Amino acid sequence: MPPAHPFDDDKLREECGVFGVVGAADAANFVALGLHALQHRGQEAAGIAAYTAESGFQLAHRFGYVRDSFTNPALMRTLPGELSIGHVRYSTAGSKGQTAIRDVQPFFGEFSMGGAAIAHNGNITNAAALRRELIDRGSIFQSSSDTECIVHLMARSLQRDVPERMKDALRRVEGAYSIVAMTRTKLIGVRDPLGVRPLVLGRLDLGDRPGWVLSSETCALDIIGAEFVREVEPGEMVVITAGEGVRSFRPFEPREARFCIFEHVYFSRPDSSLGGRSVYETRAAIGVELAREAPVEADLVCPVPDSGTPAAIGFAQESGIPYGMGIIRNQYVGRTFIEPTEQIRNMGVRLKLNVNRALIRGKRVVLVDDSVVRGTTSRKIKEMILDAGAAEVHFRIASPPTAWPCFYGVDTPRREKLLAATMSEDEMRDHLGVDSLRFITLDGLYRAVGEAGGRDPARPRYCDACFSGDYPVAPSDMIEQGFRPREAAE
């Protein structure tokens, strides 16, 4: 399935969002609302699993937006019960760009002690090796997803119950994962030892007893009126039942956390919180830092909507340059409904964004965006601004140059397709045809997210591999295919 429109094809895309509820009547309805709030994390397909003793496990998988399927009362009646999990996805591992319905999560497995459904955000970096091993031992895979490896590893475990089998399976897994799973009675959440991908715990006030919620982000707790309790810690497993509440386990060797720093820059919604920090406030702080590092004489600071907006506000406040909505986003553009000829594809950015000509004309404009990936969209936006009569165009980017692919659950082009992998900052400026181009430094980004001393190269707090080439978990499958990490490349 292609991107919704050409504009999105030049953005890094978070691959998944997960959500689960236990202890609430018609839990699947809560899950549908939570997935709607997490739609920005995956817009290709969605799925929900639910359980009751009477009907057993019931699963529904659909392509497209949550609102297009999981608001249908007839469909939701097929998902009864007080226990439910769900998932929204883009494709990373698996049939990228041509997803089959069998690749849509949650996945379900029937084990000797009962069934379990599982939904996963992240990427398993040794999935190809695990898959070969499991197939050699007789496993039959139904999907192309790396997540299915976990189901087969659980099936082969000799442990006595599903949580123990999951611990057993995940000890074989490398990479990044935040998992929400369910048995007949339990809601389970797990984060990998580095805590690369987010997962939070919430509590629902249902009167006689609490309901419990697991979610990729805090904004999805808000939509169902759940109270944020805490983040699931890196390397932690929580097992939750309606009657007993939350039990915590530490099944992995402790390691220093390396949370994905790009969650702060782009992936998470600005109304979420990460590590006790407001994402909106962090992005505004990135803009402040960017204005300090890369000042420019200009008349107008303009965000590339919507992800560049908080950073643009911070840049304007720090620089004293007026802020204005020089580019207006059409909120109602979906998939192109007419034949995608080359001419229509070239109009893709204009379908999504339009220039406020009266504001732009004659101005020296600073455009603030979250990232530059291939650069194709940046060039088109620059052309739109110049066509509207701007005197100068300056780009300020709220992340360092994206020079390395991510293997932990983000849809990143091959390294040679990344503009920053083959060009210097000055070469990128000339390629984009702008008057100036500056990125925030990696130290500046660390300062903006709360590390006053910048990035400590010996002990970086975050996963920043897409900027630094420093991979906290070796991308085993990709190295086997010929990828050369930074150390090897140098």
Q: Which fold has domain 280-456?
A: Rossmann fold (3.40.50)
Q: Which fold has domain 6-257?
A: Glutamine Phosphoribosylpyrophosphate, subunit 1, domain 1 (3.60.20)
Nearest to 245 by CA among 202, 190, 276: 202
Contact predicate 410/15, CB 8 Å: yes
8-63 per-position pLDDT tens digit: 456 665 569 999 999 999 999 999 999 999 999 999 999 999 999 999 999 999 99
Q: How far apart are CA 482 and CA 410, in angstroms?
A: 19
73-123 per-position pLDDT tens digit: 999 999 999 999 999 998 654 444 456 899 999 999 998 888 999 999 999
Question: pTM for the whole thing?
Answer: 0.91
Backbone angles phi, psi at 323, to 5 degrees: -95, 140
Nearest to 162 by CA among 188, 192, 134: 188
Contact predicate 236/242, CB 8 Å: no
For the question of residue 463 being annotated catalytic, the response is: no
Burial of 107 (0-12, 13-18, 19+ CB in 10 A): buried
Domain ranges of the chain: 6-257, 280-456
pLDDT value of position 338: 43
Give 3-state DSSP helix, strand, coil % of the chain, rounded to 5.
Answer: 30, 25, 40
Contact predicate 146/15, CB 8 Å: no
Give the percent of the chain with pLDDT over 90. 82
